[in-house]
Structure 1
């Protein structure tokens, strides 16, 4: 199971790097979300992927008797998913407003803050 998760993380990271190298801001955003999901899978896999019993401690014991999965990485990943969704919604709104104002999603054409001389030199 760990091998399958490792291969999936590798594919997600490769796809996200490919998307993040594009000049399109929307593709960059999707690459950012993919790399966030890959990091979540790595954290989740660090908590041990076992189909064992839940991490419950029997009465009178100090620790679980059987081999159990760690619940802390699962809680961290759940929190990261919620925060990642909020980040995605906010960034998608920013990309939409940028497209409305500039009429493009190409990052090379988004040069409003630069002086006109620099824009003319960049087009050469």
Structure 2
């Protein structure tokens, strides 16, 4: 079980980093979302993977730590809001320039890029 979760976190992180390094707006947004999912799964798994265990401290001898679950719920809400803001900024940039290319140093007309 732990190997499966660790593999999923690794694959999501690798795919997210690959997408973030693309030079188009939409893949960058998808990459950030994949990285967010990877972090959420990592936080959730840090509370010990215990199937069928209650998430509260009670008389049970086996329990799951409730703090990572609360952190993941908070991270889901924050990532949803962040994704909405980034999509609106990207849409505004696309409508303003008619191009979704992410470029560090845009070339101006009439200058050589040497």
Partner of 1:120: 111
- Aligned counterpart in structure 1 of residue 73 of structure 2, from 54, 78, 81: 78
Structure 2 match to 1:44: 44
Offset, 1:101: 0.4
Aligned-partner Cα distance in 1 for 2:105–2:92: 13
* Residue deviations 1:20-39 (CA, integer Å, cap 9, x gap): 11110221111011111101
Higher helix share: 1
Residue 88 of structure 1 aligns to a residue in which SS? helix
Q: TM-score, normalised by structure 2?
A: 0.88
Query: In the aligned structure 1, how far is the partner of 2:7 from the partner of 2:30?
Result: 20
User: Cα deviations across residues 85-112 of structure 1 (Å, max 9, x unaligned)?
Assistant: 000011001111111000001113873x
3-state DSSP of counterpart to 2:112: helix
* 1:61 alignment partner in structure 2: none
Bigger Rg, structure 1 or 2 = 1
Aligned to 1:97: 92
TM norm structure 1: 0.81
1:14 equivalent in structure 2 = 14
**Is this contact kept in 2: 1:25–1:105, CA < 8 A?**
yes
Which runs of no fewer than 5 residues in structure 2 stay unpaired?
Answer: none
Instruction: Select the residue among 89, 101, 106 that pairs with 2:101.
Output: 106
Unaligned runs of 5+ in 1: 59-64
